[in-house]
Structure formats: structure tokens, C-alpha cells
Amino acid sequence: MKNAAKPGKGKKIIIISFIFIAFLIILASINEIQFDDLSNFTKCSIYSPSSKFPSLPMKSSGNFDIRILIGILTLADNHQQRHFLRLIYGTQSVAGAKIDVKFVFCNLTKEDQKILIALEIMLHNDIIILDCKENMDKGKTYTYFSSLPDMLKDESNSINPPYHYVIKGDDDTYFRLPKLVETLMPLPREDLYYGYVVPCPSMDPFVHYMSGMGYLVSWDIVEWIKDSDIPKRHMIGPEDKVFGDWIREGRRAKNRYNAKWSMYDYPEPATTCTHELWPDTVAVHRLKTREKWVRTLEYFNVTHNLKPSKMYHIP
């Protein structure tokens, strides 16, 4: 007769089986965590479907090193220019930075605008419509800055402030976002006023004001503009000079940065405000024609990342 199995041997088999099953459960848990991490990393590196602007690499904490809002003041009917600028800024990315580009104009006044602008918002989600009558130097800039704190207030979002810096820019200005961030990284995050000092011969940001081509302030100044009575009393006049008057009268912006000659007017026609295109450029202003835009983009070789393909041939 064959030997009967010993009772102790059966217990060992059961124990080994339990250990093996536990090992499989732990291994499955590890794989699931690794998959989730990989999925989250992928989500951080793809394009945002709502804005069509690059979703830039994110720190593990979910916060960016620097957050910037660029508000480009334009007109509702300037559809073609907006689409063009989306190409310009949608193909730039900066590691560690969140840069939102928004197009800013006043209340819509035409029936066709209500349809066309609504379609743009649905597709791009990059438009701010201010509660004002369209103007250049009669309070539009004030309405832009003073509206932002309430507009961007989101109790479900713990990020405060929503942006470290806010820019008011023109739609004939080309910002090179990596260079912009490079110059901002060492600067203070509070009480900052940054831009191209005018009049053009001036180099002292504490005497004059920053050109309307594109100036930047820290978020605390945006909040001050909303709450202070000083801007409310003085809104008529060249908007960049008026803005400088607010800063001076309110004794704000103890930190100022003159970005001249990283910011300048296009070289032609030559004036005291122009500069030749050069590698350390943050912004080029007065790109009033498509030819000037193209020459500027060619100089900075903006298409160098274009990948070869059988689908197209660009000599």
C-alpha cells in the first residue's frame, strides 16, 4: 500500500498557496500605481483640449514655478489676427511655466459677433469680454485689470494667486515666451512693474512709465488697481502713461525692471525706439504688416522643430 500523505505536508501546501496569492496581490498593486503615475505624467505633457495652448510640464506638487497671464487687447472683429497669434503662441512652450494667452475686448455690438465670437470661445476658450464700450484710451485698460480678481476667483481652486504676473499686451507685439520667463525667474513676485521704459531715450523705470507694447505687473498690483480709488479718478489719456501715473501716485512698484533692449520696436523705420533683431529679445513691437511678422519669425527660426514627413514638402 502506498504511503499516506502526512498531515503536516498538507498544511505546508496551504500556507505556501496563501503566500503566493498574497505576492500576486502586492505585485498587481505595484503595477497599478506605476500605471497611474504614467497616466498622470502623460496628461501633464499633452495639449489642453479647452485652450489649444500647450499644457506645459508640471511639478509633482501640481504647481508651476511661475504663472503668467498675457492679456492681448484687441478688437472683436480682428478674427484673422487672433487666429494668427494662436499659431505664434500655441507653438511656444516653457518648462515649469504656465502661460495663458487671452484676447481681450469690450462688449459685442454686432449680431454676427455673437455667433462668431461664441464659436471661438467654444473652440479655444481664450477670450475675455469686458463690460465696457470699445476704446483704447478711455478706461479699457483699467477695466481689464480691475475685472481680473473677481473674474478669476474660484473657491474650488486653492492656487493663490491665480497668476504671479499679469501682462497687458498689444496685438502687434511678438512675445518670446521662453526669454520672458528667463528674465522673470530671478525677479520679485510682489510689487513688480516690468517693461520697456518710455520716452525711448530714458533708462530709468522710476522716473517714467512702461510702453503699452506690453507691460507686466505682479498680482498684488492687479488687486490694488481693483480696490484703489486712484485709478478710478484718472482713466482718460494714453493708457500706458495713465497706468504709470497710477503707479506713481499710489506709491506702488518699489520693484521695477527696465527690459530695454530686450524689448523694442521693429527695426524699420528706424527711430530712437527701434533696435535690430537679436537673440536676447523678449518682445518686438510694431509688427503692423504680415511681412514684418514673417521676417521676425524667420529671424528667430520658429519652425526649427518642424518634423520631416511624406505628407508635405516645405523647401
Least confident of 30-44, 62-76, 139-153, 299-313: 30-44
Q: Map residue 4 onto helix, strand or coil.
A: coil
Least confident of 98-102, 241-245, 310-314: 310-314
Q: Residue 296: its pLDDT value, please?
A: 98
Q: How far apart are CA 240 and CA 190, in angstroms?
A: 20
Is residue 196 within 8 A of residue 258, CB to CB? The reply is yes
Question: What percent of the chain is modeled with pLDDT above 90?
Answer: 75
If you write DSSP's letter for every residue of 174-204 in order, what string do you get? EE-HHHHHHHHTTS-SSSEEEE-EESTT---
Cα angle: 161, vertex 165, 169; to 5 degrees? 135
Q: Residue 160: its pLDDT value, please?
A: 86
Q: Residue 64: its pLDDT value, please?
A: 78
Alpha helices in 110-263 (DSSP H): 111-124, 140-151, 177-184, 219-227, 239-249
Cα angle: 191, vertex 195, 198; to 5 degrees? 115
Tabulate helix, strand, coil % of the chain (nearest 5): 35, 20, 45
Q: Kindly state the DSSP code that residue 247 receives in the 8-state scheme.
A: H
What are the pLDDT digits (tens) for 278-289?
A: 999 999 999 999
Q: Provide the residue type at 118 as one letter.
A: A
What are the pLDDT digits (tens) for 62-76?
A: 457 999 999 999 999
* Angle at which helices 239-249 and 140-151 cross, to 10°: 60
Q: Kindly state the DSSP code that residue 67 receives in the 8-state scheme.
A: E
- This prediction's pTM: 0.79
In the predicted structure, residue 12 carries a pLDDT above the cut 80: no
Q: Map residue 232 onto helix, strand or coil.
A: helix
In the predicted structure, residue 199 carries a pLDDT above the cut 60: yes
Residue 218 vs residue 6, higher pLDDT: 218
Q: Residue 175: its pLDDT value, please?
A: 98
Give Cα 169 distance to the centre of its chain: 12
Q: What is the mean pLDDT of the chain?
A: 86
